[in-house]
Amino acid sequence: MGLLALVLGLSALIVAPLATPAQAAQDSPAAQAVHGRTFRVATDTTFAPFEFRDSSGKLVGIDMDLIRKIADIEGFSVQIQSLGFNAALQALNSQQADVVIAGMTITDQRKQVYDFTDPYFDSGVQMAIAKDNDQIHSYKDLRGTVVAVKTGSEGEAFAKQRAAQYGFTVKAVDQSSTMYEMVKSGNAQAVIDDYPVLAYGIAQGNGLKTVTKKEPGASYGAAVRKGENKEFVAAFNEGLAKMKADGSYKQLVDSYVGSGQSSKSAPASRPGFFELVRQAFPSLMLGLRNTLAITAISFVIALAIGIILGLWRISPNRILSWIARIYVAVFRGTPVLVWAFFFYLGVPQLIGHRISIWLAGALTLSLNSGAYLVEIVRGAIESVDVGQMEGARSLGLTRRMALRRVILPQAVRFATPSIINQLVIMLKDSSLLLAIGFGELLYQAQQIYAANFRVTETLFMVGVIYFVAISALTWMANMLDRRLHR
């Protein structure tokens, strides 16, 4: 019996090390609670080196690599939504997302609303100026200047605390790349941002230089809704601890902000314009495809709304007429962005069910443009000479038959140029959907220049693509218009 126990004990010692890390993780209560589950993770769109897209279009960075690695260790899956920092928080609040990881500073104020994981990065802020600026060397030299910061960041809080002391004005914007362009263009004289973000941007050649030492700052953590997803928090903390213990955490962070400046943080050489075009072309074409698709879908819906409610607008039925009037007043009197956020972030809270970003985008564009098409249809019908209706009625046609066979064919000819114009406007308005993370053309451009900081060249390419697309669309629409007039 003693010999048997000895053999079993030795077998256990031999077999135990053969267990895979995933199997070992699944033995823990935290891993068991999340095993096989999928968590919707909202993040920023552009916050290199924590989240940005590489040349292949994949979302990478410290946050992204970390959450994927922990998910692999603990046995759960993640669906990452690149929305922007403020939109990510709104998505979390509206239950469109389960987790936010976006270089989010852990503060006492935020702890009242969210539960945080253990800190995974200790941050701090620095000040940077244009590379050719020799006038500013410290905070004392900022009097009378404008300092750019990122909305909701630790740099913004730091700058606002010292603005009165040093006499500078704080200008908050949504993206790090925008801050840097403001400094280079002279619209701001300095930028205060998280030190790893500045270090990454300078390594990429963003045209800035740091002039102050790193100020001690707070820590970053992943956030969930207060009192919810405790299993995720426990699993994240466990996975993070394992990564720190085996050295993979340090290796991950150093690959982006390490002193050695690895290939992830500094390119071997700055590509020329045509090489940049080659690298950006696949992502920009994906954005163009999404732009054209959402515009086509929305235009069909908007045109149907415009025709139906346009007829209601001139209907002798006062109820139908007032419904059309109210619809037009509401959607023409409110900004497109308000409806984009409402449909994507507000409606899910009202109905208790998430809405896809395509549906939210289509509703936003179609309902907004539909209001203008209602008035276009109404104006076109009323432009037809009243004698046409009287003549048709005198021939024995009912009002409905006269409208369908006599008035509407003529109204179509009057309305076509304005409808074409509205289609072009809708195509351009689709760029506003980047605010909710829809992957249209300008959104893809932001992903590109957030990683390489080639803002001017990237926006030039976007402008050319928009010009070609709109010119082609206008040409085809005018061809149709000429056929109708013929």
Residue 17 has pLDDT above 50, yes or no: no
pLDDT in tens, 211-269: 988 888 788 999 999 999 999 999 999 999 999 999 999 999 888 876 544 445 444 45
Percent of the chain, pLDDT > 70? 86
pLDDT at residue 83 tops 50 = yes
Question: What confidence score (pLDDT) does residue 85 get?
Answer: 82
Q: Give me the domains of the chain, ranges plus CATH numbers.
A: 23-119+221-257 (3.40.190.10), 121-219 (3.40.190.10), 273-485 (1.10.3720.10)
pLDDT for residue 60: 87
Reply yes or no on whether the pLDDT at 295 is more than 90: yes
Query: What gap in Å lies between CA 451 and CA 321, rounded to an integer?
Result: 52
Kindly tell me if the per-residue pLDDT of 409 is higher than 80. Answer: no
Output the pLDDT for position 96.
84
pLDDT value of position 270: 64
What confidence score (pLDDT) does residue 258 get?
Answer: 65
In the prediction, which pLDDT does 396 show? 67
> Which residue from 324, 254, 296 is spatially nearest to 65, judged by alpha carbons?
254
- Residue 384: the pLDDT is 76
**pLDDT band at residue 73, thresholds of 50, 70 and 90?**
very high
pLDDT at 14: 45
8 band by pLDDT with thresholds 50, 70 and 90 = very low
β-bridge pairing 190-194 and 208-210? unpaired
Q: Residue 5: is its pLDDT beyond 70?
A: no
Least confident of 59-63, 66-70, 154-158, 379-383: 379-383
CA distance 18 to 31: 19
CA atoms within 13 A on the CB side of 80: 21
Answer whether residue 148 shows pLDDT above 70. yes
Confidence label for 44 from pLDDT (cuts 50, 70 and 90): confident
Q: What are the CB-based long-range contacts (under 8 Å, 24+) for 409-417?
A: 410/384, 411/377, 411/380, 411/381, 411/383, 411/384, 412/380, 412/484, 413/484, 413/485, 414/379, 414/380, 414/383, 414/384, 415/376, 415/377, 415/379, 415/380, 416/480, 416/481, 416/484, 417/481
Per-residue pLDDT at 388 = 66
The reported pLDDT for the residue numbered 357 is 86
Among 9-13, 40-44, 125-129, 229-233, name the one with the lowest average pLDDT: 9-13
H or E segment and range at residue 155 = helix 154-166
Q: Check pLDDT > 50 for residue 7.
A: no
Report the range of poorest mean pLDDT among 57-61, 85-89, 441-445, 478-482. 478-482
pLDDT digits (tens, 9 = 90+) for 382-407: 777 666 666 766 676 776 777 766 77
DSSP 214: P
Of 82-96, 196-210, 241-255, 264-278, the range with the lowest mean pLDDT is: 264-278
Across all residues in the chain, what is the average pLDDT?
83
Weakest-pLDDT range from 33-37, 214-218, 309-313: 214-218
Predicted local distance difference test score (pLDDT) of residue 393: 66
d(CA 100, CA 223): 5
